[in-house]
Amino acid sequence: MNAMHEIDYELHGDAMQFVEIELDPMEAAVAEAGGMMYMDDGIEMETIFGDGSQQTSGFMGALMGAGKRLLTGESLFMTVFQNRGQGKKRVAFGAPYPGKIIPVKLSDIGGELIAQKDSFLCAAKGVSVGIAFNKKIGAGFFGGEGFIMQRLQGDGWAFLNAGGNIHERILAPGELLRVDTGCIVAFQPGVDFDIQFVGKIKSALFGGEGLFFATLRGPGKIWLQSLPLSRMANRIVAASRVGGRREEGSMLGGLGNLLDGDS
């Protein structure tokens, strides 16, 4: 296993968090493109080809890492932020939507984490961001996010996005939890992930929760989010279609706002 960069960090904010990472000279952090908020003078950016690991496996290793990222819908490239100056320097990364940032020390959970493909924000350089295939065909077809997820490997800190609030839970061996597929942020590889039909066609059609939900079976730790980005986006789209009245300046618009409780 490659040596990880031992970074320090601090979380700021509440509903719209960002993480500030403190780097000693020559330490580095790796992030998805577009996540940087600010950085001190002395920190240099470099675009790398691949999955964010130490790039010691040569061109073919980098090519394999880039191919894995392409399968998850991410860019072939990542950005490395390295402290090339004197003394400690700071770089900050902001969450792309309202919620929380989850810091995970991979060495504390066995060196590996399975995450939804849009949840990774940044990590210490040396953490590898690859793919994890779900071997169960049901999860592949009906899992919402599909059977391709992100696999984070290494010993350092990794930071994940979560919409809304975070719920962390440790499942005992054999303990089962049914979850909306979009509410899953990450879980340890020992957790069994599958997709289950709701069972009753009436509930499926009229219950508003969809035809399928995820099952997580222990042992292992899981991270859930209360507001998936997809759910928030669907509500915004629905509101723009039926909630944003074109007649807001008219009597009908005023009546509608009154009925809705808007002043």
CATH fold of 8-243: Double-stranded beta-helix (3.60.160)
* Both structure tokens of 50: 């691949």
What is the rounded (10 degree) CA torsion for 83, 88, 92, 93?
Answer: 50
Buried b (16+ CB within 10 A) or exposed e, 203-214: eeeeeeeeebbb
Identity at 186, one-letter amino acid code:
A
Q: Which residues contact 205 (CB under 8 A, 6 or more apart)?
A: none
Query: Using CA atoms, how far apart are residues 110 and 232, in angstroms rounded to an integer?
Result: 33
- The pLDDT profile of the chain, 263 residues, written as one tens digit per residue, is 455 677 899 999 988 899 999 999 999 999 987 889 999 999 999 987 655 554 444 444 444 444 454 444 455 578 999 999 999 999 999 988 888 999 999 999 999 999 987 889 999 998 988 888 766 545 444 444 445 788 999 999 999 999 999 999 999 999 999 998 889 999 999 999 988 876 655 555 555 555 678 899 999 999 999 988 777 777 777 777 755 554 444 444 554 554 444 54
DSSP 8-state secondary structure symbol assigned to residue 108? G
Say if residues 36 and 28 touch (Cβ distance below 8 Å). no
Domain layout of the chain by residue ranges: 8-243
Query: Using CA atoms, how far apart are residues 252 and 109, in angstroms rounded to an integer?
Result: 58
Q: What's the pLDDT at 257?
A: 52
Global confidence as pTM:
0.76
Query: Using CA atoms, how far apart are residues 124 and 8, in angstroms rounded to an integer?
Result: 9
